Chains A and B, each alone.
Chain A
Amino acid sequence: MKNDNDAHPILEVKNLTKDFGGLRALNCLNLEVYRDEIVALIGPNGAGKTTFFNCITGIYPPSSGDMLITPPGEKAKKINNLKPNQVTARGLARTFQNIRLFPNMTVLENVMIGRHCRMSAGIIGAVFRPKSTIVEEKQVVADSYGILEKIGLASFVNEFAKNLPYGAQRRLEIARALATEPFILLLDEPAAGMNPLETRELDNLIVQLRDQEGISILLIEHDMKLVMSLSDRIVVMDYGRKIAQGTPQEIKANPVVIKAYLGEETDAPVEECTDVLR
């Protein structure tokens, strides 16, 4: 739901390129996410979707190109050479394709870790526990519990994360990411391995996050039913390039996309790096 008054994208990626040795994993990728938008990133396996996520979140440094974010009420900022924790602190949280929870911590603690960058207690605070630290700790416990209630995991609060059922672990990853107070949430295959019921719940959850929390969402997903019903806009990648973008209806009818998925050779015009930027 693109807001016309607010046409400035909150996440803008310009000519992003990433090389691994001789392999160009991302090739001049351009992508924008606007406020209150759910954007899906799809493409065949090995298209570079996860690499793209890793570049935005600072896990890989990009070879060239720019990435800018515009947090609400602030000016656009480059996030090119930031470390992952700095990116997260600026309001861009993510989940992982293979669940990466902290298995031997309780569910609540997993979420509390997400609050880490919004807290300030240091060594002195930890040892002497001044009033400010006690207040902060209480606040974090309450906040984290609140997030768990919202996601529907409150009953697991003291359970070790590793003992949770699969679907709950996926949701916990989202809860943990939410705890960092993001304005954009990057979800890497959130529905992978979920059964149809769990997928439907996830669908509702994502819409709820957008509508109630005002969080924009960029997700990678292979479940086409979910992608088509959920997303406002779809971006299709293949061989590290963006080959198409548009509404679900447009993408469904796009011959280039169909060819990419069915494995035919594509002769469609692909985007090349341009020096002219907006």
Chain B
Amino acid sequence: MIPSLAEIKKSLLTSLWFMFLTFPVMVIRVNTIYKTVEWRWRNLLIVGAGSFFLSFLWRYLIKRKETGQKKIQPGSTSVKSLIQSAFDNPKLLIPSLAALAVFTTAFPFIFSLYQTNIMINALIYIVIGLGLNIVVGLAGLLDLGYVAFYAVGAYSYALLNHHFGIGFWTALPIGAGMGFLFGIILGFPVLRLRGDYLAIVTLGFGEIIRLILENWNEFSFGPSGIANIPRPGFFGIDFSLHQSTIFIYFMMVALVIFTIFVVNRLQDSRIGRAWIALREDDIACQAMGIDKTKTKLTAFALGATWAGMGGVVFAAKTTFINPASFTIWESIIILCIVVLGGMGSIVGVITGALTLILLPEYLRAFSEYRTLLFGVILVVMMVFRPGGIVSTARRTYQFEAIGNKDEKR
């Protein structure tokens, strides 16, 4: 494909624009020791040439994406995505699940303690991502203060343990229950809100919880946080740090499986359908006999439950918590996991969590460019796959002859 003159002109303009934009950062450097200014003109050339060629690539990809969409749109008989169809094929599904299971089991023994810790982190984010997926992905309620419930879970365990010596396994359901409760408490005032307004109020709620934890010293020990939170025990066996990490890892794997199981059942149930209907059209949803109040509250409460559980595990894993762990940035990351992965899709959220949590870790090799690369990846994702990595597939039913209905997964 030979680029036309217009395209070359466009790319030239793009590269000029980028050269102008990056000029102060890439070209000028003040040497503070000798008090001189260095002019690195070579960098300008690299930026110019790089953006010139990248703009061609960009246009080509956009064009390909648009033609691809045109092909799919008219008369598409199937609503299944590629991954979904892989799921439906037992020949592919069973070996890939087996491979996944082997890899998951072997992971902490193959890789270092550091890698296992990162993976535990990613698993925690999968759990709370799936929780937020109920609120944002299924019920369509944009919640920017989700981290508040995470904090509620973590502080429930930390404080209960500090004051009453309550152990991890007792605290886990309590943390979940506290999440549920706070979900309802937040749910009530925002019942009438939706869209941007809801996002702002939930954002405020998240900050309120964080500020309370930061400033109410008598209650939460303020910014200095709570230390010496015990790791989860297992019938009183004494673990070394290494063993304990491996134990938490397997516990998290179990919790992820449990979460997937529950969320999967929820989204195919009467309540799950009501959530999706609420997301799709709230007036029609109500006119079709769905109690909006109840549906919204269950979404908030059940979503918050997983955050509460994740919080308990987080506190147990790090053995130290303070309000700095529960900033708005955490909420944004969790929201990114859901949106980037694919709203309403379980596989999508898992992919999103693994990408967003593991990527920055493995990008450490690029040291200072790491956040830049992270940003670029996010932008590229949103341009080329605005619906997320994995698109939502709805359950399909197969009916044989008229009157003789056979249901199949």
Contact = CB atoms under 8 A, between A and B. Distances in A.
Tell me whether A and B are bound partners.
Answer: yes
Interface of A: 57, 59, 83-85, 88-89, 93-94, 96, 100-106, 108-109, 112-114, 116-119, 121-123, 125-127, 129, 133, 136-138, 141-142, 145, 149, 154, 157-160, 163, 176-177, 179-180
B61 interface: no
B1 interface: no
Given A122-B271, A141-B397, A85 B292 contact: yes
B161 to A, nearest CB: 28
B166 interface: no
Contacts of B274: 113, 116
B288 A108 contact: no
Nearest to A162: B280
B289 A88 contact: yes
Interface in B170-228: none
Contact of A142 (B271, B272, B405): B405
B79 A103 contact: no
A149 B402 contact: yes
A160 B287 CA distance: 20
Interface of B: 76-77, 79, 262, 265-266, 269-274, 276-277, 280-281, 283-292, 298, 302, 392, 394-397, 399, 402, 405, 407
Which 7 pairs show the lowest CB-CB distances between chains A and B? A117-B289, A126-B269, A102-B280, A88-B289, A100-B284, A158-B396, A84-B286
A126 B262 CA distance: 8
B280 A105 contact: yes
Contact of A123 (B271, B289, B292, B405): B271
Contacts, number: 130
B285 A113 contact: yes
A88 B291 CA distance: 10
B302 A123 contact: yes
Contacts of A112: 273
Contacts of B298: 123
A100 B298 CA distance: 24
Contacts of A108: 397
Contacts of B396: 106, 158
A116 B290 contact: yes
Given A127-B265, A141-B397, 10 more contacts: A88-B289, A96-B283, A96-B287, A102-B276, A106-B395, A106-B396, A113-B290, A116-B277, A121-B271, A142-B405
B276 A104 contact: yes
Nearest to A176: B288
